[in-house]
Structure 1
Amino acid sequence: MNFFESFQTAVEGIWANKMRSSLTMLGIIIGITSVIAVTTLGEGGQRAINEEMEKFGRNNFNVFINWDTKEEHSNDDLTVEDAEVLAKISPAIEYIVPYNPGTVEMKGPKKEERVNLVATTADYFPMLKTTTKLSKGRFFNHTDDKEQRAVVVLEEALGTKLFGQVNPIGQRVRMGNNSLVVIGTYTEEKFKFDMGAESYGAFVPIRYSQSLQEEPYVQMLMGTAVDKASIEPAMQQAKQYLSRKHQKKDHYMARSMQESVNQFNQVTGTLTIIFSVIAGISLVVGGVGVMNIMLVSVTERTREIGIRKALGARRSDILIQFLIESVIVCLIGGLIGVLSGLGIASLIAYFANLPPMLSWNSVIIAFAFSSAIGIFFGLYPANKAAKLDPIEALRYE
């Protein structure tokens, strides 16, 4: 019996027991579906977030105080002047600015809103050129900052909330007991995976913000390296300058966006592997189901095997026939599992606002697993069928 005849016989055996074959496939389908869905979402989500990080500035880095150090801390550990000097002396740094984020209540003629307020310098806006665009007016300049002018740049949606249909440029907003003039509005591309509530932003000059504080401080420095190769030198130069100027060793830390991305990839990669292993357990269960059904099939077809052997079928012919039958069941189940897994992953991606994803690696692995399960768990029943004595098999009732 050649391979084609063995294949044809195996298909006929499966077709003759459609319900049993379908139930046998079910475990494989569930297992492959789980593995495909988990790995596709893991790889696709990881790729999508990496693209978002790239868009928001892969060359960015932050410099901040190491609060775990035993050295004494003070409000002048970081200053506006530190950023200005670093921008001039470091060839690896394109921009570096002081960065003080916070939340305030901002009131306009129409409404009062809670606002994410950033106090910084004029160089901050050029750092955001890929994600933030001026819609009206202007961003504050170095003169506004040095003269501590009470000016603010509002997110366009915030301007609409506070002023309605009135052009906010030149209008005033209240921030506590202080009145600020709106000099510009901007639109900002939001981070796609920000699942938080709707929020609005605004910018003010940092020296004006510090003039309102009893003890002025800078929370961190935010910088951009000239290119990816310059990120590490830029961070090292920033830490060395600050340590030398403030006479404090190991008092400053720096973290790049690339480090955050790498850390995220490591976590998501580990979680994907863990979930895939858990989902893969169902594949093993499905394989056991294949072996059980194939053993039942051998028992039911004992007389048929005896007749085949009596007519000249060799042991290898019987072995190959049952192995092919097992592999076909697993491959069909694997194909259905791949399609359903991709369908589920696409559905989740649609509702989670992820881009379309297809992980060819997981598809190839799924089919390899299906074939391996068919061979591994089908080998024992096939071998048992091949070893049957034809005389005993013909006597079997």
Structure 2
Amino acid sequence: MSRFFLSWRFLRDGLEQAAIALADNRLRSCLSVLGVAVGVAAVMAVGTISQGGRRLIFEELETFGLRSVWVFRVNEDKKPDSTRRYGTGFDNVDMDLMETSCCASVRRFSPVLQLKDRQFLIRVVSMYSNAQIIGVNHHYLDINNDRLASGRFFSPDDIAKRRNLAVIGPAVAADLFGSARDPVGHVLRIGDRKYTVVGVTEKKSRDFLSSIGSIGGQDSNNQVLIPYTSLQQQLGNKLIHFIHAESITLDRADAAALELTSFFERRHQHRYAYKSDTMARYIATAERILDGVSIIGLVAASLCLLVGGLGIMNVVSTSVLERTREIGLRKAVGATEQHILFQFLMESVLISTLGGLLGLLAGTLIGVGLAWLTAFPLTPSWQMALLGLMVSIVVGLLSGFIPAKRAARLRPVLALRYE
């Protein structure tokens, strides 16, 4: 017990002496504290932005269906051409075969017939909508990770019997029926045909991806979904633009894409070439970009901490020179090298700890400010806060060690003669 009290007293005395020494050189100490604070604030800001951005991006990517797989047909000479990815190469017989026997890695699929350039006018009496019209089957809602706010989705019987039904997005519902009316059960016109609204999808938020231009103009809130067979009948053809499928697991997405493209190539005797895309690839790309941004930010923060560490080393070195006679006197009356080393290390650790705490406060304010300015829910990263504080203390120890060691090794006789 007595050893504990002696250790505590030794620590307390060291802190008091360090605080007095720093107070005697306020300007120099404050500049060093500020240097460390900038580095810690940068570490915390990078962590907050990185984790917040990662969470936002993946939450919004999830609205497309994490296990989504898309298969498109490319042009006749089998050279990928993204400007011609809408075309033939799929037919209704393919859809029937896929229902019975297709691919082991595919959970479900939907043909997609997507009208471009607003081919048909959508209206209810005198109200109009510029929504996109998409023909799909009964699996599309689950594949695309959509949910219904009201009503129901299509059944296999609706698809087989080509019923004129529609499921609309919330923006379409507001445009055509207003906010007070429930659209379910009402009729809208698509071109010259009447479709009964059987469901309304929930609103999807993709504000962050929209703000960085990463969703290609798609807006699931402004879409009208109808059975693809009904849309084919209205168009007078059997056109299918592409296949939207769901893999059984996220890890099997690439396998599902390969199985689907192989299936269509065999089915059409290699007359057409196909290309595929998966949400897993978008996720991997997003992770690489975010990791790169985080690394760049952490490198910049590390440079700030390095500058702060050099500032601490300069402060402690100057303090050693100014107090050389004091060091000699203390050693002459019995102070050991460990006592002197501890005293100057306490000064450097005190500077770095104060800088770390100030940096945490600044980093938190930066995160809150960014959240307020951008309207995105960026919350401070406490893992990065703890890391930043620990790093600042380590920087203080390392920066102060060399001048503290030099002070501890001073010979009393030479130190007392120092002018």
TM over 0.5: yes
Structure 1 residue runs of 4 or more that deviate by more than 6 Å after TM superposition = 71-74
Residue 382 to residue 203, structure 1, CA distance change in 2 (3 Å): same
Residue 181 to residue 215, structure 1, CA distance change in 2 (3 Å): closer
Deviations 1:301-359 (A, max 9, x none): 23322322332333443233212211221122112212432342244346443364535
Q: What is the CA RMSD across the aligned residues, in angstroms?
A: 3.5
User: Structure 1: any 5+ residue segments left out of the alignment?
Assistant: none
- Aligned counterpart, 1:108: 124
Q: Which amino acid aligns with 1:26?
A: L
Which whole-Å CA distance do the structure 2 matches of 1:279 and 1:327 have between them? Answer: 19
Which whole-Å CA distance do the structure 1 matches of 2:60 and 2:112 have between them? Answer: 22
Which whole-Å CA distance do the structure 2 matches of 1:87 and 1:317 have between them? Answer: 80
TM-score of the superposed pair, with normalisation by structure 1: 0.83
Equivalent runs, 1:1-397 vs 2, <5 Å: 4=11, 5-53=13-61, 57-65=65-73, 69-70=78-79, 75-90=87-102, 91-101=104-114, 102=116, 104=118, 106-128=122-144, 131-133=146-148, 135-136=150-151, 138-142=152-156, 144-146=158-160, 148=162, 150-164=164-178, 165=180, 168-169=183-184, 171-175=186-190, 177-192=191-206, 193-195=208-210, 200-211=222-233, 217-228=239-250, 231-248=253-270, 251-349=273-371, 351-354=374-377, 356=379, 358-360=381-383, 362-396=384-418
Which whole-Å CA distance do the structure 2 matches of 1:76 and 1:385 have between them? Answer: 82
Bigger Cα displacement from structure 2, 209-218 vs 87-96: 209-218
Which whole-Å CA distance do the structure 2 matches of 1:221 and 1:349 have between them? Answer: 38
Which whole-Å CA distance do the structure 1 matches of 2:25 and 2:95 have between them? Answer: 76
Residue 388 to residue 238, structure 1, CA distance change in 2 (3 Å): same
Which whole-Å CA distance do the structure 1 matches of 2:299 and 2:74 have between them? Answer: 39
Deviations 1:267-319 (A, max 9, x none): 21121111111222111111122122223222332332232233233344323
Residue 249 to residue 273, structure 1, CA distance change in 2 (3 Å): farther
Which whole-Å CA distance do the structure 2 matches of 1:359 and 1:82 have between them? Answer: 52
Deviations 1:4-51 (A, max 9, x none): 244442233234444432221101101111111112321343245445
Identity of aligned residues (%): 28
**For the Cα contact (< 8 Å) 1:63–1:221, is it kept in 2?**
yes
**For the Cα contact (< 8 Å) 1:29–1:333, is it kept in 2?**
yes
Residue 97 to residue 334, structure 1, CA distance change in 2 (3 Å): same
Residue 311 to residue 71, structure 1, CA distance change in 2 (3 Å): closer
Residue 195 to residue 150, structure 1, CA distance change in 2 (3 Å): same
User: Structure 2: any 5+ residue segments left out of the alignment?
Assistant: 1-5, 212-216
TM-score of the superposed pair, with normalisation by structure 2: 0.79
Residue 303 to residue 16, structure 1, CA distance change in 2 (3 Å): same
Bigger Cα displacement from structure 2, 26-35 vs 262-271: 262-271
Q: 1:135 offset after TM fit, Å?
A: 1.2
